[in-house]
Amino acid sequence: GNYLALIVSGGHPSFYKVEDYVFEEIGMTRDDAAGEAFDKVGRVMGLPYPGGAAMDRLAAEGFKRDDYKAIRFPSPAMNDGTLEFSFSGLKTAVINHLHKLTQQLRLESGADLPQSIKEDVAAAFTKVSVDGIVSKLREAIAEYHPTHVVLAGGVAANSHLRRGVEALCRGLQVNLCVPSLKLCGDNGAMIAAQAYYEYMEGKTDIMTNAKGRFGIHGGQYIPEVLMNAVNELEEAYNYYKNDPEF
């Protein structure tokens, strides 16, 4: 199919123009990835690794108040007409802000910041991150006019990003496809999907030469892990097949 893909993860954000499952990268980060920034900020805040889920919950609490609006962080969206990002400056600004708060409150090294402050910082950080990503997605849609947008990657599990992208696509009347939460992180379905198209093109070397235990399918040797992945892909397909936009 033909669509615009937005991947937001520990190694991205990136935009891809997809035509018949040929991927062309049309936008990317120039330095840190979104997930990387979330994890590094989360570590300074004392959150468990990876920090995405905990940051999501903290931000949700912060959004219930207006205090976070007084915190200003730089947007990760490049303001130069490209579909590119820079999360390095944002990450540094948030970490510096946290260190400054620690000094202002005269906390001992390693001491925890008050919960309300963590929530406000998480909300401000999440807001500017989501706004930056959504603004670039708006530009990409305006430039490439896709009928479908796919949001994927580990950070696609972030509830605030999902809502922001959903609102944009709904407003622009563009169909949005988002995997379920359990399929946002690394999973067998994504491997099986890629393997399917490789196999249909006759590229079977990666299957027949793989090491480890094997299963037999249709006369071809296929790694057991791939067979498990195919089952996950089938489960994902069954989940979405009744969706008229799938």
Per-residue pLDDT, 210: 43
Report d(CA 189, CA 184) in Å as an integer.
10
Please give the full DSSP string across 12-71, using - where no structure is assigned. -EEEEEEETTEEEEEEEBSSS-HHHHHHHHHHHTTPPSS-HHHHHHHHHHHTTSSGGGG-
**Does the pLDDT of residue 216 top 50, yes or no?**
no
Which pTM does this prediction carry? 0.79
Per-residue pLDDT, 143: 95
Task: Enumerate the β-bridge partners of residue 85.
Answer: 29, 77
pLDDT tier at 8, thresholds 50, 70, 90? very high
User: Per-residue pLDDT averaged across 7-20, rounded?
Assistant: 87
Q: What is the pLDDT of residues 112-140, one digit of tens each?
A: 899 999 999 999 999 999 999 999 999 99
User: Per-residue pLDDT averaged across 6-12, rounded?
Assistant: 84
Q: Are 22 and 94 contacting, i.e. CB atoms less than 8 angstroms apart? A: no
Report d(CA 172, CA 239) in Å as an integer.
25
Higher pLDDT, 26 or 51: 26
